[in-house]
Amino acid sequence: MDSKKALIKKCLIALVVGVVGLAGILIWAPKTHHHSIAFVCFAICATGFFVAGCVYFFTPKFLPYHQQASDMDWEELTPQSRGMALAVLRIVAGGFLCASVATFILLWIPYRQGLVWAGPAIFVIYNSMAIPALYGTYLVASNTPSNPPLLPVLTAIIISFVGMILSF
């Protein structure tokens, strides 16, 4: 139970830092810079998903936190279990890559043209993958002894929210 409380505490700290950061940008950054800052926020998120997608797609076995969660080494898994694990990793990689490519395209064309709908569209497309990823990561973190990348996912969601707010 203490690990769940610590996990919730870390998430709340990340959320507060994000809110304070957004408030700081809104107060101190000139309005003329908001659009550029939002672009950077969305680009950071898309780059993170692209990197994660490549890692998940090209890994020959599950990642260290998967090993901790399953309490088994890769070699201990049956060939069928290995195939299933790799298939799930490839499916998640596909989601990460699709969300990142869609974000990059929306950033490059409609967002740079100043179309108002582009920022919220990027936010929705990005978070249609990020929020389920956060939920899955939370389940692994709260139900196993592993340490999955919960804070990076939460941070990316907060950054994408900051990007959406600043895109208006």
- pLDDT (0 to 100) of residue 95: 96
**16 is a domain residue:** no
- pLDDT (0 to 100) of residue 10: 73
Is 26 in contact with 167 (CB distance < 8 Å)? no
- pLDDT (0 to 100) of residue 11: 67
**2 is a domain residue:** no
Our count of domains for the chain comes to 1
**135 is a domain residue:** yes
Could you tell me the pTM of the whole model?
Answer: 0.84
Q: State how far the Cα of 53 lies from the Cα of 164, in Å rounded to an integer.
A: 23
- pLDDT tens across the length of the chain (168 residues): 566 677 667 767 777 777 777 777 767 777 788 899 999 999 999 999 999 999 999 999 999 999 999 899 999 999 999 999 999 999 999 999 999 999 999 999 999 999 999 999 999 999 999 999 999 999 998 899 888 998 899 999 999 999 999 998
**64 is a domain residue:** yes
Rounded to 10 deg, the angle between the 118-143 and 150-166 helix axes is 160
Residue 53, domain extent: 35-69+77-166
Q: State how far the Cα of 121 lies from the Cα of 30, in Å rounded to an integer.
A: 24
Which DSSP category does 167 fall into?
Answer: T
Q: State how far the Cα of 25 lies from the Cα of 111, in Å rounded to an integer.
A: 20
Is 14 in contact with 162 (CB distance < 8 Å)? no
**25 is a domain residue:** no
Q: State how far the Cα of 126 lies from the Cα of 98, in Å rounded to an integer.
A: 9
Q: State how far the Cα of 168 lies from the Cα of 160, in Å rounded to an integer.
A: 13
Give the rounded distance of the alpha carbon of 80 from its chain centre. Answer: 29
Q: Is 61 helix (H, G, I), strand (E, B) or coil?
A: coil
